[in-house]
A and B are shown apart, each in its own frame.
Chain A
Amino acid sequence: MRHLLSAADLDRTAALRVLDTAEQMAATQQREIKKLPTLRGRTVVNLFFEDSTRTRISFEAAAKRLSADVINFSAKGSSVSKGESLKDTALTLEAMGADAVVVRHGASGGPHRLATSGWINGSVVNAGDGTHEHPTQALLDAFTMRHHLVGKREPGAAAGQDLAGVKVTIVGDVLHSRVARSNVLLLHTLGAEVTLVAPPTLLPVGVDTWPCATSYDLDSALEGADAVMMLRVQVERMNAAYFPSAREYSRRYGLDARRLRLMAEHAIVMHPGPMNRGLEISADAADSARSTIVEQVGNGVSVRMAVLYLLLAGSDDVDGGTA
């Protein structure tokens, strides 16, 4: 694996290797001394063209626990807004000797351009690009599902196993969601069955070609689900006529106490954060015992440790990912 740009870069073998490595990383995080010497002397740059404190500190913690040197480069104001161009930023990082660049960019394909343009030699990790993908979010979501639904919450019990037969319902603004795109791809690779639920305005034209089912009705998609993932909905979408009002959205597509009761006993509630409490998810759902929302954050560090490790130290593994 050279870069991680899309969840589609990972075949089943490569995806399981990331998840299994993340299990090992998680185990080390139970120790008193959490730091591993693995990436000592390597430099990881967090290149963030958009504000995202959560994702940035998650990558930062991951890199630091592997003993990498971390440079945080906040480059808000990309060439879209006529600041320094992506190219010049990349050349600057290359001159500093970045071994890996973790990039968050407002433009779909921004990380792809960094990886394929020849501007830099290091590995590129997509930390979210526009409305395209967010592959490490999908990995941490899969990690969380596997832990709860396959490994029955026993640490390490799910190692080597995929998500065959697991039913996942993803609800919300699929059209603009990089989380949904990466999850559909990765969950399909791992054998899960995904149903996307959204108002028709928030499903992209072409979604019928994706490896998943779609529905406009949330209630019916809750009953058989093993995991229900609520996506963040931006109220601004209301002004572009994607839905009439926040209240109507909440009534039709929000996860509230009544809908929580429709879910199977073992089913978990997920959200990539940050949440709009009272819009797509009620406090009852967010704070319920079946919510994994806080746990997802912790798993994010383990999964990102695994990704950085495999990109920077594990690249000589033989049976290879497809990236």
Chain B
Amino acid sequence: MTTYLLRGVRPLGADPVDLLLADGLIADVGPDLTADGTVPHGAVVVDGAGLVALPGLVDLHAHLREPGREDAETVASGTRAAAAGGFTAVHAMANTSPVADTAGVVEQVWRLGREAGWVDVHPVGAVTVGLAGERLAELGAMADSAARVRVFSDDGHCVSDAVLMRRALEYVKAFDGVIAQHAQEPRLTEGAQMHEGEVSSVLGLAGWPAVAEEAIIARDVLLAQHVGSRLHVCHVSTAGSVEILRWAKGRGVDVTAEVTPHHLLLTDELVRTYDPRYKVNPPLRSDADVQALRAGLADGTIDAVATDHAPHASEDKDCEWAAAAMGMTGLETALSAVVEAMVDTGLLDWAGVADRMSVRPARIGRLEHQGQPLSAGSPANLTLVDPVGRWQVDPAASASASRNTPFAGRTLHGRVVATFLRGRATVLDGELTGP
């Protein structure tokens, strides 16, 4: 296995050090590991001058589409995109076909991830059979499988039945699992096409009201408190949701939450183009919501950035708005979006970025080997970022099999230069390597 010496990198933006990666671990850390004039262990030297070192990014929420929609994405293509974006672990959502609601399917996805070798793939198990919201899937079997599932979600659908949600929250305590709720009151959002507000009124598109998200989150934090369970809230998108979460955390509820990069950066004004690239669920919201989400992420009310990477075949976006699929890709642009929304604005420093994009998501997913400190003995899962690098998003150059990025043509800040998964480079010099 190749040994790497990362020279002069800045861990979490701090003063430059050398990092030695050997045998899958961070073997040594020091201000100058070549002080005696030799490169240890014949290591390959990576010039890290000016680069920020972060623990490998961990995504709690990606749609890898396999099995079922391999035309949109496969585990292999999706995890290549993840590595290119600086990730070393990705949670794969359960809304595949067949649904990941049995030990067999989650083990298949887990094995596809191992074979691809770009990042650790952690399947998310469905809460209910077929995502139908009627009866619990065999959560214990998925937890006990080779995939060791700890995060369960009907993402794309809300577990709207209060009794079912209560039982799920209770049941997964037996194996330290967590229910990741897609908070969307179904009756309030029938046929919904975009955020309900000024823009929807003008465009004549059916509204997705903020209250449909907030009402479910309010109910769920109270349920979680009542049964003493752990709750995670997917893709929080409204200012009201942030307030409810802040209140719940203040009361000691064991709740965590994520926000997507696009909800930190884009607003419903973009829908005026009727371009379905901007169609996503939950929808892009108002600028006031964006500011509240940034503030919530900065103060820790929102624990994590999660991509909700949702690749779609071109024909599912090359149509009128109402007919288009919901979702946008995000694995390759997530870090840059966070840099623009949070770092450039002074809301988060690099330690904060590491916390929200690696440390806390790893903790929520109970991943022992991810999100660890950049110190000797830690697994060598890390990414190197050029903080002042600029790059223009070219959908055709994407590692993802799909092209539905909302950032096409946009110049983003912060560029991933290298990614290491257990000491092996998946990205080097800004290019994907072989797995």
Q: Which residues of A contact B (CB under 8 A)?
A: 78-80, 85-87, 105-110, 112-113, 116-117, 129-133, 178, 181, 204-207, 209-210
- Bound complex: CA A107 to CA B193 (Å): 11
Contact B201 A108 (CB under 8 A): no
Question: Shortest distance in angstroms between A196's beta carbon and chain B's nearest beta carbon?
Answer: 11
CB distance from A210 to the nearest CB of B (A): 7
Docked pose: A112 CA to B275 CA in angstroms: 9
| Chain B residues with CB under 8 A of A79 | 319-320, 323
What residues of chain B lie closer than 8 Å to A109, measured between beta carbons? Answer: 203, 205, 274, 320-322
User: Within the complex, what minimum Cβ distance (angstroms) separates B213 from chain A?
Assistant: 15
> Would you mind naming 22 contact pairs between A and B with Cβ atoms under 8 Å apart?
A80-B323, A106-B322, A107-B320, A107-B321, A107-B323, A108-B203, A108-B204, A108-B274, A109-B203, A109-B274, A109-B322, A113-B321, A116-B274, A130-B205, A131-B204, A181-B202, A204-B207, A205-B196, A205-B200, A205-B207, A206-B197, A206-B200
- CB of B176 within 8 A of chain A? no
| A207/B201 in contact, CB under 8 A | yes
Query: Which single residue of chain A is at the shortest CB-CB distance from B201?
Result: A206
Q: What is the CA–CA distance of A289 and B180 in the complex, to the nearest angstrom?
A: 64
Q: Known contacts A108-B203, A204-B207: does B196 contact A85 (CB below 8 Å)?
A: no
**Chain B, residue nearest A6 (CB):** B202
The answer to whether B315 and A85 have CB atoms under 8 Å apart is yes
Q: How far is the CB of B191 from chain A (nearest CB, A)?
A: 10
Q: Which chain A residues lie closer than 8 Å to B321 at the CB level?
A: 107-109, 113
Contact status B322-A130, CB under 8 Å: yes
B197 x A205 contact (CB < 8 A): yes
CB-based contact B318/A87 at 8 Å: yes
| CB nearest neighbor in A for B190 | A240
The residues of A that contact B197 with a CB separation of less than 8 Å are 205-206
Query: Using Cβ atoms and an 8 Å threshold, which residues of chain B touch A207?
Result: 201
Q: Which of chain B's residues has its CB closest to A85's CB? A: B319
Q: Please tell me if B273 contacts chain A, counting CB pairs below 8 Å.
A: yes
Cα(A116)–Cα(B200), bound, Å = 20
B window 395-430: CB within 8 A of A: none
Check if B15 is an interface residue, CB within 8 A of chain A.
Answer: no
Contacts between chains A and B (CB distance < 8 A), count: 83
Of residues 200 through 235 on chain B, the ones whose CB sits less than 8 Å from some CB of chain A are 200-207, 209
Point out the residues of chain B lying under 8 angstroms from A78, CB to CB. Answer: 320, 323
Closest to A112 in B: B274
Q: A109-B274, A205-B197 are in contact. Are A132 and B204 (CB under 8 A)?
A: yes
Contacts of B203 in A (CB 8 A): 108-109, 132
Give the number of residues in B that approach A within 8 Å (Cβ atoms).
24
Query: Given A108-B205, A112-B274, do A204 and B320 touch, yes or no (CB 8 Å)?
Result: no
A85, B205: Cβ atoms under 8 Å? no
In the bound complex, how far is the Cα of B238 from the Cα of A268, in angstroms? 45
> Are A86 and B204 in contact, with the CB atoms below 8 A?
no
Q: Chain B 294-324, CB within 8 Å of chain A: the 1/0 string?
A: 0000000000000000000001001111110
Q: Is the CB of B201 within 8 A of A86?
A: no
Task: For the complex, give the distance between the alpha carbons of A78 and B323 in Å.
Answer: 9
A204-B207, A206-B198, A206-B202 as given contacts; A86 in contact with B273, CB under 8 Å: no
Does the CB pair A204–B200 fall under 8 Å? yes
Q: What sequence of 0s and 1s flags, for each residue 104-140 of chain B, a beta carbon within 8 Å of any chain A beta carbon?
A: 0000000000000000000000000000000000000
**Are B198 and A209 in contact, CB atoms less than 8 angstroms apart?**
yes
B322 adjacent to A80 (CB under 8 Å)? yes
B204, A210: Cβ atoms closer than 8 Å: no
The complex places the Cα of A85 from the Cα of B207 at a distance, in Å, of 24
CA distance A236 to B126 in the complex (A): 36
Asked whether, in the complex, the Cβ of A204 is within 8 Å of the Cβ of B319, the reply is no
Q: Which 9 A-B pairs have the closest CB atoms?
A: A206-B201, A109-B274, A132-B204, A131-B204, A204-B201, A107-B322, A108-B204, A206-B198, A107-B320
Q: Tell yes or no: B393 within 8 A of A by CB.
A: no
The answer to whether B196 and A206 have CB atoms under 8 Å apart is: yes
Q: How far is the CB of A207 from chain B (nearest CB, A)?
A: 6
Interface check B46, CB cutoff 8 A: no
Apart from A108-B204, A181-B202, A205-B196, list 16 A-B contacts with CB within 8 A. Answer: A78-B323, A80-B320, A86-B319, A107-B321, A107-B323, A109-B205, A109-B320, A110-B320, A112-B273, A130-B205, A131-B204, A133-B204, A204-B201, A205-B201, A206-B200, A210-B202
Chain A residues within 8 Å of B200, by CB: 204-206
Chain A residues whose CB sits within 8 angstroms of the CB of B209 once the complex forms: 205
What are the residues of chain A within 8 A of B204 when measuring CB–CB? 108, 129-133, 178, 181
Across-interface contacts of A204 in B (CB, < 8 A) = 200-201, 207
Q: Closest residue to A180 on the B side, CB-wise?
A: B204
Closest chain-B Cβ to A118's Cβ sits at a distance in Å of 11
User: Could you tell me the distance in whole angstroms from the C-beta of B317 to the nearest C-beta in chain A?
Assistant: 11
CA distance A110 to B320 in the complex (A): 5
The smallest C-beta distance from A134 to any residue of chain B, in angstroms, reads: 10
Contact of B320 among A105, A131, A205, A206 (CB under 8 A): A105
B87 nearest CB across to chain A (Å): 33
A74 to B206, CA, bound (A): 26
B367 within 8 A of A: no
